Amino acid sequence: MKFYIVAQYLAQIEKESSRLVITKMLSELISKCPKDEISQLILFLQGQLAPPFKSIPLGIGEKLVVQSISLSTGYRSRKVNEQFNLKGDLGLVAEELISKRKQQPLAFKELTLTDVYNAFMKIAKNAGEGSQMRKIRYLAELFNSSKPVEARYIARFSQGDLRVGIGDPTILDALSYIYSGDKSMREMIERAYNLRSDLSLVAKVLFENPNKLKTFQPTPFYPIRPALAERLPNAEEIFKKLGKCYVEGKYDGMRIQIHKKGNVVKIYSRRLDNVTHMFPDVVEATKSLPYTSMIIEGEAIGYDKKKDRFYPFQFTMQRKRKYGINEMKKVIPLHVYLFDVMLINDKNIMDKSYEQRRKVLFDVVPRNHKLFKTPDYIFANSADDIQSFFNKSVRRGLEGIMAKDKDKPYIAGARKFAWIKLKKSYGGLGDTIDAVVLGYYLGKGKRTAFEFGGLLIGTYNTVRGVFESLARVGSGFTEDEMKLLKDYFEKIKVKRKPNNVDSNIKPDFWVVPKFVIVVTADEITVSPMHTCAKEYFKNKKGLALRFPRMISLRSTKGPYDATTSKEVYEMYKMNK
């Protein structure tokens, strides 16, 4: 497929604001793609060379792109940098400077999608001495053969984001449109995606034989998109919804999905990154479990044996550092609270009820194991049972409880009231919100020195396919954090409001919506200023946070699996 066609479609989509039109245009583009290039196209649209669990990062810094543009066009790096500072978008810089090159390249070859993908793969895999120079050259060669609009998306892809407002939900809808002209096939396609976590593979199989998607089963080393928890305001509501149910302690650690086949073990994070390197102790312990294959899930949390207490989340996360893991292993011994099982000895048990899965899980976890544990739990016969277990769990230092429908299967990638969480109170909301940063403000008064005055945050509306604004957050940051945030946002700022953002408020700078922070507030209120969940209100009103503050700089969630607008609406109703 000619890359020019891809670039032209993307430029059209970028100008469009109607979700439906975007989905239709995207499905037209995908349907034009030959079978053997479909995986590359989907990955290109997602701004990645491979799904996260395959760990093939692009590894291209801004400086490298600046130097490549300079090498290809004949403009000095300083000039390219000036343009970058002005536009805040390397894509637009590449497009403009390539349209008025100072030097014509010796060789010009019309690019195909495969050429572009392969060139980026070559760049990603290049390592060792002199690799930086080689990478610059390879990228410059791509620019040499680029038309201006192609250069825009090549430069943006190098930064992992095409900035056209297409997320996975839109791609899923577009794939369905190709075959049914509407969203009716989305559920089937999404099921396959939930089991493989690789949209490029799903699209390829769909193109070959749509019926084959139905046969997908959980398979080791393809992470399963995690089941998610709903919230309800109190024990009574939970009991009303679930009736007699299992209630477990909610541990505030890091969710891990452990896969085993033969003697190979891999571990994936909630965002489906391969994090095996962080947990050599878990790998060893899993290897010694007597099963030929398994997929199990649990919460890893640092445990202080002397004080019989769990370490705070941030402390456990220190294991993220690649080096010194073995030392960390001694300093921060782990407990892994296994709470679900999806596959055992090649047998899919995802579709069994939780009651049945628990039985398997209790067989899997050896008694008195020093690392693997099962969560504290009760079988609740009443709302009072739930309430007293909640009180006990919070006293023990846990985050709250997780109530589970005994009859439901493992519901990958979705909520649907199979799990309901009740957390100890944070502010007035009874929970925290994982919100996406949409823009930032410059500082005033004392904060002028940092040029940072807070953030405009929002949530994703899965139906409308846009990020909606929710609050301006100005407190909860330390000075160091403000500096860090400002430096980071400087890099992802964009000139115009991205077309997948719906906001009546204009921050000083817009950013690409991809950074997720954890916030809380005193209350959720209806406001004419914000757009969150606006479809539920008249007169263009939406939801806003009262006295919002930041709790944690970084969430473990990505922009599309952070708190959704609908969830904020549910929280609003709950708090009322």
Q: Which residues have a catalytic role annotated?
A: 250
**CA distances to 86, 105, 440 from 443, in Å:** 20, 45, 10
For residues 196 and 201, give the distance between their C-alpha atoms in angstroms, rounded to a whole number.
8
C-alpha gyration radius of the chain? 25
Contact assessment for residue 1 and residue 37, using Cβ atoms and an 8 Å cutoff: yes
156/404 with CB nearer ligand AMP: 404
For residues 534 and 528, give the distance between their C-alpha atoms in angstroms, rounded to a whole number.
10
Strands, E assignment, 279-432: 293-304, 309-310, 334-344, 347-348, 372-373, 377-380, 400-404, 419-423
CB of 77 to ligand AMP, least distance (A): 43
CB of 37 to ligand AMP, least distance (A): 36
The long-range contacts involving 68-72, CB below 8 angstroms and separated by at least 24 positions, are 68/136, 68/137, 68/139, 68/140, 68/142, 68/143, 69/93, 69/94, 69/97, 69/98, 69/140, 69/143, 69/155, 71/136, 71/137, 71/140, 71/143, 72/98, 72/101, 72/105, 72/140, 72/141, 72/143, 72/144
Nearest 10 degrees: CA dihedral of 30, 33, 38, 42?
-40
343/420 with CB nearer ligand AMP: 420
Closest CA to 268 of 279, 518, 326: 279
Site size with ligand AMP, rule: CB under 6 A: 11
527/564 with CB nearer ligand AMP: 564
CB of 559 to ligand AMP, least distance (A): 15
Q: Which H or E element spans position 94?
A: helix 90-99
229/526 with CB nearer ligand AMP: 229
From 402, 494, 519, 553, residue interacting with ligand AMP (rule: CB under 6 A): 402
**Tokens standing for residue 372:** 């693997």
Contact assessment for residue 60 and residue 159, using Cβ atoms and an 8 Å cutoff: yes
In terms of Cβ atoms closer than 10 Å to its own Cβ (0-12, 13-18, 19+), residue 154 is: buried
CB of 428 to ligand AMP, least distance (A): 17
Say whether residue 405 binds ligand AMP (CB under 6 A): no
From 266, 421, 447, 486, residue interacting with ligand AMP (rule: CB under 6 A): 421
CB of 16 to ligand AMP, least distance (A): 33
205/254 with CB nearer ligand AMP: 254
Contact assessment for residue 70 and residue 170, using Cβ atoms and an 8 Å cutoff: no
Interface positions, 465-484, toward ligand AMP (CB under 6 A): none
CB of 63 to ligand AMP, least distance (A): 36
- Residue 419 bridge partners (DSSP): 404
Interface positions, 230-289, toward ligand AMP (CB under 6 A): 248, 250-251, 255, 270
250/493 with CB nearer ligand AMP: 250
Closest CA to 294 of 278, 303, 282: 282
SS3 347: strand
Binding mask 310-339 for ligand AMP (x = CB under 6 A): -----------------------------x
Residue number with the shortest CB distance to ligand AMP? 255
Say whether residue 551 binds ligand AMP (CB under 6 A): no
From 58, 121, 178, 229, residue interacting with ligand AMP (rule: CB under 6 A): 229
152/319 with CB nearer ligand AMP: 319
Q: Work out the number of other CB atoms within 10 angstroms of the CB of residue 107.
A: 7
183/415 with CB nearer ligand AMP: 415
For residues 260 and 258, give the distance between their C-alpha atoms in angstroms, rounded to a whole number.
7
Say whether residue 299 binds ligand AMP (CB under 6 A): yes
Q: Work out the number of other CB atoms within 10 angstroms of the CB of residue 178.
A: 17
Say whether residue 375 binds ligand AMP (CB under 6 A): yes
CB of 241 to ligand AMP, least distance (A): 17
CB of 51 to ligand AMP, least distance (A): 19
Residues that bind ligand AMP (CB under 6 A): 229, 248, 250-251, 255, 270, 299, 339, 375, 402, 421
